[in-house]
Structure 1
Amino acid sequence: MSNTLGVLANQVVSGPEEARALGDDYVTAVGKILNSHVRNEAAGAAIFDEPSIALAPTPREKWLACRMAMEEYGHHLKFNKLAAELGVEDPHARSPLSVFEYEVTTWTEYVMTKAIVDLAEVVLMEDLAHCSYLPLRKLCRSLMPEERFHVGFGTTTARQLAADPAGRDEVRRAAHELITMTLPFFGRSDSRNNETFRRWGIKRMTNDECRAEFVRRTRALLEEELELDHPEVDVRWHGTSS
């Protein structure tokens, strides 16, 4: 973990009034985090979860897909409430993350989005669970059980699918594609935004540290649990988003 000392290390900003008292830089930084979650929670629900209801093979799995869609939309609404209270910019002024360009066409592909993309969200939320902005910290901690349930559903179902020789190739293909597509999820290696987040105590980890933790966990999933190979990836990313 980065040893960069934030200006709000070990301090707590209790709400919008205290955030505004710190100035526009702090409000803007927290706003970027909130707006990213507003956009991407809605995108995930619409692009991954809703189509999965029709793809689910049994009534129980349709129920689970409905539950996860409902929870993701609920996360969107809760992040949107914090953004509105803070008075930040329009969250839809920017596009969702590129991983949401992945098209879910089979139940296996959906299962792997839960096992992999939602795992990336868990890694980010674990960091934000120590955020200096208390409303965001508390929200991430409260949503963590649902996010971990989504990942647990994905990993458990992936094990079942990979146990069938007829399904292993599709599990592997979807996993490799999604891991590669999810790497930019964490932002650029040289992100100025991330430097600002750490300076204000909003985040503790660099983007590369988060990405490395994500790769460590996906490698454990594929190699140890599913007995599949993991794609060769770089924990650095020098793309265009920050």
Structure 2
Amino acid sequence: MPQTLMKDVHDAAEACALGDEYVTALGKIINSHVRNEAAGAAVFDEPSIALAPTPREKWLACRMAMEEYGHHLKFNKLANELGLEDAQSRPPLSVFDYQVESWTGYVMTKAIVDLAEIVLMEDLCQCSYVPLRRLCRSLMPEERFHVGFGTTTAKQLAADPATREDMRSSAHRLITMTLPFFGRSDSRNNELFRRWGIKRLTNDEARTEFVRRTRVLLCDELGLDYPEVEPRWPGTTN
């Protein structure tokens, strides 16, 4: 792979001065977040408000929906500054096809899918584009709160025989559905991201870290088994 861009890019004007390749690569990352932050709020967080069993949990679900929509708006601001095409011209990631049908299922989306988002966002916290780097760093406390909520509540649910099997089946399905979240193993886009210093990790490295962390959650913290997964994903999309 050619030498990685080492300098900081401080604003949209500096990004555009580097040329279309940098802006296009950056735009793919930013627009993905524009789409997927809104999708997560709409298909995971909003339905959970009705499913939440207590007023406090409804309040927490409302808070997380609000924060996810806030993330969408903040990424969209970066997109507008760069003059990117409409992010909604492409569909959100396939993990958002998951149907939240129970409070347990929702809790596991926070513990698992939001953990995948943290793995990706941690990488972007070192991004060469300073506005994206700063935004990701500023959003990390909220993302960690979402995962912490999911993990803490999952531990409570795991202790109840009435919800344990629902938790296990939700976790297995979500882990399997989240693996493509990180992109193809042989992604040309990822090579471009790393060359321009937008990302550091390969897709497989990020996916392996997600598997490691979710294995700790399921096996060590919840006492559940882990689904058979492959850290490589030879999918057809980047």
The alignment's TM-score, normalised by the length of structure 2, stands at 0.99
| Distance in structure 1 (CA, Å) of the matches to 2:150 and 2:45 | 12
In 2, are the aligned partners of 1:6 and 1:201 still within 8 Å (CA)? no
The question of 1:126 aligning with 2:122 is answered yes
Q: What are the residue-to-residue correspondences of 1:1-242 with 2, within 5 Å?
A: 6-9=3-6, 11-242=7-238
The count of corresponding residues between Structure 1 and Structure 2 is: 238
In 2, are the aligned partners of 1:208 and 1:236 still within 8 Å (CA)? yes
SS at match of 1:216: helix
Query: Over residues 56-98 of structure 1, what are the superposed CA-to-partner deviations in whole Å (9 max), with x where a residue is unaligned?
Result: 0000000000000000000000000000001111101100000
In 2, are the aligned partners of 1:51 and 1:104 still within 8 Å (CA)? yes
SS at match of 1:103: coil
What's the CA shift for 1:231? 0.5
SS at match of 1:51: helix
Query: Over residues 19-72 of structure 1, what are the superposed CA-to-partner deviations in whole Å (9 max), with x where a residue is unaligned?
Result: 000000000000000000000000000000000000000000000000000000
| Distance in structure 1 (CA, Å) of the matches to 2:236 and 2:63 | 34
Letter in 1 for 2:5: L
In 2, are the aligned partners of 1:6 and 1:198 still within 8 Å (CA)? no
Query: Over residues 180-200 of structure 1, what are the superposed CA-to-partner deviations in whole Å (9 max), with x where a residue is unaligned?
Result: 000000000000000000000
What's the CA shift for 1:105? 0.7
What's the CA shift for 1:5? 6.6
Query: Over residues 152-185 of structure 1, what are the superposed CA-to-partner deviations in whole Å (9 max), with x where a residue is unaligned?
Result: 0000000000011121111100000000000000
Where structure 2 has 5 or more consecutive residues not aligned to the other structure, the ranges are none
Letter in 1 for 2:159: A
SS at match of 1:166: helix
| Distance in structure 2 (CA, Å) of the matches to 1:154 and 1:170 | 15
Where structure 1 has 5 or more consecutive residues not aligned to the other structure, the ranges are none
What's the CA shift for 1:6? 4.5
Question: For structure 1, which segment, 85-94 or 215-224, has the greater mean C-alpha deviation from structure 2 after superposition?
Answer: 85-94
| Distance in structure 2 (CA, Å) of the matches to 1:194 and 1:146 | 26
Question: For structure 1, which segment, 163-172 or 213-222, has the greater mean C-alpha deviation from structure 2 after superposition?
Answer: 163-172
Runs ≥4 residues deviating over 2 A: 4-7
| Distance in structure 2 (CA, Å) of the matches to 1:164 and 1:6 | 53
In 2, are the aligned partners of 1:19 and 1:27 still within 8 Å (CA)? yes
| Distance in structure 2 (CA, Å) of the matches to 1:221 and 1:30 | 32
Query: Over residues 90-141 of structure 1, what are the superposed CA-to-partner deviations in whole Å (9 max), with x where a residue is unaligned?
Result: 1011000000000001000000000000000000000000000000000000
